[in-house]
Structure 1
Amino acid sequence: MSSTIKHAVSELSIPVPWGEIRGKVWGPDHGRPVLCLHGWADNCGTFNTLIPLLPKECRYVAVDLAGHGLSSHRPAGVPYTFPANVADVRRVIDGLHWTRFSIIGHSMGGNIAAMFSALYPEMVDAVVLLDCFGFVPTDSIFIFKVIRQGMDDVLQFEKKTEEKKRVYTYKKAVERLLAANPTLSEQSVHILLERGLVQVDEAGFVFSRDLRVNVKNIVPISLEQSLEMQLRIQASVLVVLGDKGFGAAPESNQLKLLQGYRERNVSLKLGEKKYINIICRKKKTLKLPWVVLSLIKGFSSLKFSESEDRHSQYVCEKLQMQGMPKGHEGSRLVAGVLDHETLKY
C-alpha cells in the first residue's frame, strides 16, 4: 500500500534519572509526531502490527513504559503510579524535543495518555484510546482502603527475600505466556517476548518486567477528579472499545465518562471542541488491524464527518455479519493484546 509505512524501524533510548526508557521508532524524522503507549504488563511490541498500516507521513514512537520491556525498572522503594508514568511521558517528549503531538494508547497506556492530555492540554492535538475510558475512577468511599492496601502490598513486597528470577528456555517461556493468556495467538506471544525476555546465559531467559508493576496503584482518583480532568482535555478524542474488553459491561463510573465524551460531540457541532467517539462492540473487529485502522486513519487525518462516522460503524457491523475475510483469521489489532484485559505471566 502506498499509504503505509515503508521506513525502517529504529531503536530508541531516552535517559532518565534511574536509567533509560527504551522504545521503537517508525516513520520520517520530521513527520507528524505520534506517541504510542502500551498496556499494563505489555511492551511497545504491542504496536508492531498496527503502526506499519498507519499513514506513512507520521513519526511514530512507541515506548516501553518504566518496568516494562527493555526499559529500566524504577529504583528500589519507588512505586509504579499513573502520575509517575505521566511524568515519564513528559521526560520522553522533552527528550524527543516535541512541542505538540498525538497519542495512541492501549488500556493502561490510554489512561496515561488521557491524564497527560489533561495536565498538558496545550501539547496534545489528538488522542486515540484503545479499550479504555481514559481514567480509572475509584469510588470516594473506597479510596482510603485502596491506598492502604497498595501501601501494604508495596511494603510486603519489599520484605521478601530477594529471589533469583526463574530461568526459562525460549520454548518454555512461550508455553507459559500462552497458558496464562489463552486469547493470544502464538504470533502475538513471539512479538511480545521480543522485548519481554532478557537472555541471562546460554541456558535461557528471564521475563524482563518488574514484578512490582503488579502492586495496586497507590494513587487512585475519584470520579469527580476524573471528570474534571476529562473537561481539561483540549485534544480531539477517539474512543475504541471491544465487547470482550472494558466495553463489555461498562460500570456506572465508566458510563459517566462515556457520557462526558459524548457531550463533547455537542461542543463539536457548536465549533467549540473537536471530540469524536467511535464505540465498536464487535469482538472480531478487534482482531482485525485494518478495521480499527480505518477509524484511526480517518481520525488522525481529521477528516471524520458525521457520515464517515456512520459508515465506519456500518463497516464494523458488516464485517461481523460476514465473518473474517480469508487470510485475516489470525491477525490481531496491536499484536492481539486487545483480546484480553490484562496480560498474565
Structure 2
Amino acid sequence: MTLAFEEVRLTLPHIELAAHLYGPADGEPVIALHGWLDNANSFARLAPRLEGVRIVALDFAGHGHSAHRPVGAGYALWDYVHDVLQVAEQFGWQRFSLLGHSMGAIVSVMLAGALPERVTRLALIDGLIPYTGEADTAPQKLAEALTAQMALAGKRKPVYAAFERAVEARMRGVGAVSREAAELLAQRGLMPVAGGYTWRTDNRLTLPSPLRLTQAHAMAFVRRLACPVQLVLAEQGMLAAQPSLAALLADTPIDVRRVPGGHHLHLDDEAGAQRVADCFKPFLLAP
C-alpha cells in the first residue's frame, strides 16, 4: 500500500483544517470527505489508486488534526458544507468534484444540490442523505439535544492504556471496520494523554442533532443535483440495510454500483479499495 501524500494545514477565514494532498498538482480537482468520527486516513488505501486526480482529503472540523469549532458553536451539516466551499476557494477551484464517504457523502450531496454550478461530479461511498425527522418529532429532538449539551461538561472521553486497546474499540464502533482500517484511523485520530491514549475528536461531535431535515428537505438536495453522480453501495453496508433505499433512489439519475463489502469497504482491505477505485477512476476522469 502506497501512502505518499503531502500533509498541509489550511487557514480558512473561520477555522484551520488539516488535509492530505494526493496526486499531481494539475490533476482533476477533487475534495475527499470522510465519515463521522473518522479522519483523512479514511482515503489512505483509495486515494493512491486514483492516478491523475488531485485529491484534497480533509480532516473535517473537530476530527483528526483539524481545529475544533469555538465554544458555543456546533457541528451542523451545513457548517461542514461551508467549510468545504472555503477549501475550494483557497485552492482557487471554481469547479471541482467531491468524493464522499458516509457523512462526507451527505455533505457532498448538500453542497452539490445547493450550488450545482460549482460541482463537476459526485463520487459517493455508502451515503446519500442524513437521518431525517418529521415536524412532529422536532420538539423532542431539541429537548434531547439541549439535555445532552447541558451534561457535556461532565462527559469524559475514554482513555486506553495501549494503542491496541483503542484500535480494538474502533473495530467495534459505529460502522465496524477491519483491524487494518482501525489502525489507520487510530494513527491519525489518537493523541497521548495521562494514562494512555484518547481520541482527538471534539466531544461535541457525539451530541444529538437539535434539528433534523425532513425527508422532503433532504430529497430536495438530491433532486437538484445537476452533475453526474456515482454511488458505490456496499452490499453489507449501512445504506443497503435501509428499507427506504429503493424509494430514495427511484426517479434519480444516480449510477449505483453494488460492491461487496461493509460500510468502510474502501478502507477495510486492498481488494475493497481496488473495487471502489475501479468504479471511481474512470468516472472522475471522464471528459
Q: Secondary structure at the match of 2:239?
A: coil
| Cα distance change, pair 181–90 in 1 and its aligned pair in 2 (3 A) | closer
The answer to whether the aligner puts 1:14 opposite 2:10 as a matched pair is yes
Residue 218 to residue 232, structure 1, CA distance change in 2 (3 Å)? same
Mean alpha-carbon deviation: is it higher for 22-31 or for 179-188? 179-188
SS of 2:223's equivalent?
Answer: helix
Unaligned ranges ≥5, structure 1? 265-275, 304-345
Q: State how far apart, in whole Å, the 1-side matches of 2:94 and 2:240 are.
A: 36
Q: Is 1:108 matched with 2:103?
A: yes
Aligned residues of 1:227 and 1:260 also touching (Cα < 8 A) = no
Query: Shift of the alpha carbon at 1:99?
Result: 0.8
1:257 maps to 248
Q: Which amino acid aligns with 1:29?
A: A
Q: Evaluate the alpha carbon distance shift between residue 156 and residue 250 of structure 1 in structure 2; reply closer, same or farther with a 3 A threshold.
A: same
Residue type of the partner of 1:24?
H
CA separation of 1:170/1:250 partners in 2, compared to 1, >3 Å: closer, same or farther? closer
- Which residue is 1:207 aligned to? 199
Query: Paired residue for 2:235, among 233, 243, 248?
Result: 243
Match of 1:118 in 2: 113
Instruction: Tell me what 1:296 maps to.
Output: 280
Kept after mapping to 1: 8 A contact 2:33/2:101: yes
Q: CA deviation at 1:17?
A: 5.2
Give the equivalent residue in structure 2 for 1:333: none
The yes-or-no answer on 1:32 pairing with 2:23 is: no
Q: Partners of 1:116 and 1:14 in 2: how far apart?
A: 19
Over 3 Å counting, the alpha-carbon distance change for 1:44 and 1:182 in structure 2 is closer
How far is the alpha carbon of 1:69 from its aligned partner? 0.6
Greater fraction helix: 1
Percent identical among aligned pairs is 28
1:227 correspondence with 2:219 = yes
Deviation (angstroms), 1:224: 1.3
**Alignment partner for residue 170 of structure 2, among 161, 174, 177?**
177
Contact 2:235-2:262 at 8 Å conserved across structures: no
Instruction: Kindly provide the CA deviation profile for residues 38-90 of structure 1, in whole angstroms up to 9, marking residues without a partner as x.
Output: 00110010000011111x22110100001111111111221211011111111
Q: Which protein has the larger Cα radius of gyration, Structure 1 or Structure 2?
A: 1
Q: Distance in 2 between matches of 1:181 and 1:230?
A: 25
Which sections of structure 2, spanning at least 5 residues, go unmatched?
none
The residue type paired with residue 73 of structure 1 is H
Cα distance between partner residues in 2 of 1:148 and 1:161: 18
Indicate the SS of the match to 1:193: helix
Distance 1:13 1:106 in 2: 21
Deviation at 1:126, TM superposition (A): 0.3
Distance 1:86 1:278 in 2: 24
**1:136 partnered with 2:120:** no
Alignment of 1:59-74 (within 5 A): 59-74=54-69
| Higher share of residues assigned strand | 2
Residue type at the aligned position of 2:7: E
Q: Does 1:51 align with 2:35?
A: no
Distance 1:102 1:230 in 2: 16
Question: What is residue 260 of structure 2 aligned with on the other side?
Answer: 282
Residues 7 and 26, structure 1, Cα contact 8 Å, conserved in 2: no
C-alpha RMSD of the superposition: 2.7
